[in-house]
Amino acid sequence: MSADSEQRKLAAIMFTDMVGYSALAQSDDKLALELLEEHRELLREIFPRFNGTEIKTIGDGFLVEFNSALEAAQCAIEIQRALSKRNHDVPVERRIEVRIGVHIGDVVHRGGDVYGDGVNIASRIEALAGAGGICVSMDVERQIRNALDARFERLAPTELKNISVPMDLFRIVLPWERNARLTDGRQKHDVRQQRSIPIGWVVAAVLLLVVIGAGVFVFQRQKTKVAPGQSETTASTIPAKSIAVLPFENLSDDKSAAYFADGIQDQILTKLASIADLKVISRTSTTKYKSKPEHLTTVSQQLGVANVLEGTVQKAGEKVRINVQLIDAHADNHLWAKSYDRDIQDIFGVESEVAQEVADSLKAKLSPAEANTVATAPTKDTAAYDLFLKGEYEERLAENSLKAESFDQAATWYRQAIARDPGFALAIARLVQSRMLRHWFVEQMSEAELAEIRQMTEQALTLAPNLAGARIALGQYYYYGYRDYEHASAEFGRAIQLQPNNSQALQFSGYAHRRQGQWKQCLAELKEALEQDPRDASLTANLASAYNWLRMWKDAGRTAREALSIDPHAVQGMTELLRSILDGSGDVNEAQRVLATFPAEEKILVRSNAGDIRYVTGDRAYVFISARNFQAAMKVWEAGEADAPDQRQRLSARVAIQVLAGDLKSAETPAQKATQLLEERLRDRPNEIASMMELSWCHLALKRDSNALRLARQAASLLPPEKDAILGNFILTGLAQIEARTGGATDAVAILRRQLADTVGHVSIARLKIDPVWDPIRNDPGFQQLLTMKEHVGP
C-alpha cells in the first residue's frame, strides 16, 4: 500500500468493552446475543451526538474516533449514564456494563482501519476502567479537566502491556457513583480533583506498605470557598459539638458494593446519634451532598454544623479499607484523618472506633450507657451484617419510590440476615418498620399478618429492650397498624430518650401528636426534628401541612416553598403549596400558575387515605375542578391515570369528576365497573374507609343516594376526628359533601360550621366559595351564613 493511501492525524480514541460477555455467552448464548445487540444499538445511537466515528467492532467492544478529547469524554459519560439508567430496575443477570478507555495521540488511517500508539494505549487503558467506569490517560485529563464538569481520581502506577513509556492514568468519577441512593440524577458534579487510593492494595506486599503508612495518611483536598451568593456562617451561631456524617464514597472495583459504603456511613452516624452531648444531622439531610463537597462552609451553614466527617470505603474480598477524616467545616481544616485496613470480620470494631474518635475530638461526654451503645456491635455474624446492609440499601430505595417490589426485596434481605442470626435485633426491628411502611403506603396487611409483625416487635425488644430502633418499630406498628396514637406516641418518646439525636423518632412523635390534635407539641417536635434534619423535603412539607391545618396559610406557603427548594419533586410540598393558595385566598388563577411550574412527571394523584373529593380526584385535577374546567381536569387525570394505585381508584376518580361536571350519563359505565370492584374489595376489607368514600361517589353517579349516604356515614362513624384529627376531618368533610349532594343541606351545613369553628380545619371559607362540590347547597341560607364566619387561626 502506498504512502498516499495513509493519513496521519491527532485523534481521541475510545475503546469500549462489554463486561462479562464471554462468560455469559458460555452459560446462556441466547441471552448474551440479545444483550450484545441491545448494547450495540444503544451505543451507536450515542456516538454521533458527540461527533464520534465508529471505526469497527472488536468482539463485544467498539473502537471509536473523535476529533477532541472533550467530545470523547462527554460521549463516554453519556454512555455510562444511559447504561446506569437502563440497569436501575433490571435483574443482575440482564444488566449491561461496559468499560471505557480514552486516549489522545497520533493515529494512522489505513484501509478503513486505524493504527498507532494512540490506538494501542487506548486499548490498554480500557481494561483498567472497571465495570461501569471510564479510564483516561494523562494527556486526556490535562485537556478536559477545566472544560469538563467532573472529578478525576489518579490511579495507582500501572505497567501497560507493550507500552514502554510510563504514564499517569485517571478515572472519571461519575456522579451516580458518589451516592447511588440518589437515583434521579439531580446531583451536581464535583469539580474538585483528588488522588485516589491505590486499588492494588490487596496484594500482600502492598498491604504491608499500607499498614506501615497508615499513621501518616491524609486526604488530598483543595481549600474550599464560600459559594457565590452565600454568606459565611458565624461560628458562634453553630454548636461546637455538632457534626454531619457525609455519604461515604465507594472506591471498590465492584460498583455494586455501594450498599456497603452506604451502610458503614449509616452505622457510624447511628452510633454518634446515641450521644446526647452531640448534635448529629440525620442521614436524610446528609445524602443531599457529595462525599466531598466543594463548598464546606455552605454545607456548614445549610446543615447548622461545625464539623463534618468524610470517608471512603474500599472492599475487596475479605479485606476492607476505610478512610475517614474529621473536618472543621467553618475553617475547612481537617482535625484528624485515619485509615483502617481490616479483615471484614473486624468491621464492627472500625465503626465503634470512628464514633469514639469523633466523640473524643469534639470533647463529647458519654454516659456509661452511651459508651456501651457505641461499643456494641449489632451482630457478630459478618455475613448476616452484609445481608442487613443490602436490606438497608434496598429499604431506602423503597421509601423513596414506595414500590412494592423494593419493599419486598428489602424484606428478603432482612429475613436472610435474621435466618443467619436469630438474635439480630436491629434487623428484626428494621424488617418491622419496612413491613409497616408497606402496609400504610402500598397494601394493607391482614390481621394475621399484623399479629406476626407484633410478635416480631416483641422479639426485638426482648433481645434489645434499649434499642431505639425497636421502640420506633413498635410505635409504627401502633401508628400504621391500628391508628393507636397514644401507644405510638409513648414508644416514640422512649426512643427519643434512648437516642436523643434520632430525627425519625422526633418526626413520628410529632406526627402522632398531630393525629391526636395536640398541635403545639406537634409543631415543637417537627421544628426540633428539622434542626437535626434541615434538608429533608418531606419533613419540611409535613410542617407546611401542619400550618395548613392550623389555617396559617402564609406560613404554610412559605414552608412548602422551602420543601420544594430542597427537592423540586417533593410531591407533598406541591400539595401543601396548592392547598395554602386555594384554602387561603381561593385564587384559582394563582393556583393554576403555580401548578404549571411543577415538574410534569409528578402527577400528584390519589392517596390511599381518600376522604373528600379532593383526595378522590387528586390535587392536580382538583385545581382545574376549582376553576370549573372539568374537561381540563379529566385530561389531567387521564394523563396521569396509570400512576393511580389500582383500577378501583382510577375509575372512581373519573366518576367523581363527571359527577361534578353534571355528566351522569358518561359516569354511568365507569361507575358500574368501579362499584363491582369496590364492593368486592369491601367484602374482603369491610372497614376500609378509602373504598367506602370512593364507592359513595359511584352510588351518586348511579342515583343511589341512600347507598351513598349510608357508606359516607359509616366511614365517618369508624374514624371520628376525636380519634384521628387528620383523617377524621377528611372523612367528615367527605360526609358533608355527600349530604350536600343528596338533599341534606341542613346536615352538611352543621358539619361545616363545626369544622370552621374548630381549632383545625380541612375546610376554609375561601375554599367554600369556589369549590363546585357545594353547588347544590350554595344558595341555602345556612350555607351563605357560613361564608360570614370568622375562622379559628393558629394552635
Residue 514 — very low, low, confident or very high, per pLDDT cuts 50/70/90? very high
Cα 460 to Cα 476: distance, rounded to the nearest angstrom: 14
| For the ranges 417-426, 442-451, 622-631, the one whose mean pLDDT is highest | 417-426
Distance CA 70, CA 100 (A): 14
Quick check: helix, strand or coil at residue 242? strand
According to the model, what pLDDT value does residue 437 have?
94
Which ranges of 145-189 does DSSP label H, i.e. alpha helix? 175-178
Predicted confidence at residue 188, as pLDDT, reads 31
| Domain definitions of the chain by residue range | 3-173, 213-364, 382-529, 652-786
Sign of the dihedral defined by the CA atoms of residues 173, 179, 185, 187, in that order: negative
Distance from C-alpha of 408 to C-alpha of 419, rounded to nearest angstrom: 16
Task: Quote the cell numbers at residue 407.
Answer: 419493599
Q: Smallest Cα–Cα separation from 306: which of 289, 285, 326, 287? A: 326
pLDDT at 577 over 90: yes
Partnered with residue 314 across adjacent β-strands are 321
pLDDT of residue 186: 32
Q: 604 vs 402, which has greater pLDDT?
A: 402
What is the spatial distance between Cα 80 and Cα 619, in angstroms, rounded to a whole number? 37
Q: Are 124 and 163 in contact (CB under 8 A)?
A: yes
Identify the pLDDT of residue 209.
Answer: 29
Q: What is the mean pLDDT of residues 651-661?
A: 89
| Cβ pair 68, 15 in contact under 8 A | no
What local confidence, expressed as pLDDT, does residue 157 receive? 57
CA distance 235 to 306: 7
Collapsed DSSP state (helix, strand, coil) of residue 57: strand
Identical fold at 382-529 and 652-786? yes
**What's the pLDDT score for residue 485?**
94
CB-based contact 113:51 (threshold 8 Å): no
Q: Of all residues in the chain, what percent carry a pLDDT higher than 70?
A: 85
* Grid coordinates given for 172: 472519571
pLDDT at 161: 55
Residue 65: strand, helix, or coil:
strand
Alpha carbons 364 and 534: distance in angstroms, whole number: 22
**pLDDT surpasses 60 at 8:** yes
Confidence tier at 187 by pLDDT (50, 70, 90): very low
Q: Please check the confidence at residue 523 and state whether its pLDDT lies above 70.
A: yes
pLDDT 10s digits, 294-344: 677 787 888 888 888 888 888 887 888 888 888 888 777 778 888 888 888
The CB-side HSE value for 133 (13 A sphere, CA atoms) comes to 26
pLDDT at 613: 66
pLDDT at 459: 95
Calculate the CA 480 to chain-centre distance: 21
Identify the residue with better confidence: 26 or 780.
780
pLDDT of residue 107: 82
Could you confirm whether domain 652-786 is CATH 3.40.50? no
Options 2.40.37.10, 3.40.50.300, 3.30.70.1230, 3.30.300.180; CATH for 3-173 is 3.30.70.1230
The distance from CA 377 to its chain's CA centroid, rounded to whole angstroms, is 27
CA end-to-end distance (rounded Å), the chain = 90
Amino acid at 205: A
For β-strands 307-316 and 333-343, DSSP reports them as: unpaired
Q: Is the pLDDT of residue 138 over 70?
A: yes
Return the C-alpha cell found at 670.
365507569
Radius of gyration of the chain (CA): 30
Alpha helices in 88-182 (DSSP H): 117-126, 138-144, 175-178
Give pLDDT, residue 22: 77
Provide CB contacts within 8 A for 636, sequence distance 6+. Answer: 620, 621, 624
pLDDT of residue 212: 31
Q: Kindly report the three-state secondary structure assignment for every residue of 580-644.
A: HHHHHCCCHHHHHHHHHCCCCCCCCCCCCCCCCHHHHHCHHHHHHHHCCCHHHHHHHHHHHHHHC
Helices and strands, number each (H, E), in the chain: 35, 15
* pLDDT score recorded for residue 600: 65
For residue 434, the model assigns a pLDDT of 96
Check if the beta carbon of residue 707 is closer than 8 Å to that of residue 699.
yes
Of the pLDDT bands very low, low, confident and very high (cuts 50, 70, 90), residue 149 is: low
pTM to 2 decimals? 0.66
Least confident of 116-125, 417-426, 434-443, 543-552: 116-125
For the 382-529 domain, the top CATH level (class) is mainly alpha
pLDDT band at 175 (very low <50, low <70, confident <90, very high): low
Greater confidence, 161 or 747? 747
Tell me the C-alpha distance between 621 and 625, whole Å: 6
Nearest one of 508, 514, 512 to 485, comparing CA atoms = 512
Rounded distance between C-alpha atoms, residue 261 and residue 693, angstroms = 46
pLDDT band of 421, cuts 50, 70, 90: very high
Q: What would the mean pLDDT of 388-395 be, rounded to a whole number? A: 92
Confidence of residue 347 (pLDDT cuts 50, 70, 90): confident
Is CATH 3.40.109.10 what the domain over 213-364 is classified as, yes or no? no
Please list the helix, strand and coil fractions of the chain in percent, rounded to the nearest 5, in that order: 60, 10, 30
29-33-37 Cα angle (round to 5): 170
- Cβ burial of 317 (10 Å; 0-12, 13-18, 19+) is exposed
- Kindly state the average pLDDT of the residues 611-623: 72
The pLDDT of residue 601 is 56
Cα–Cα distance measured from residue 111 to residue 98, given in angstroms and rounded to the nearest whole number: 28
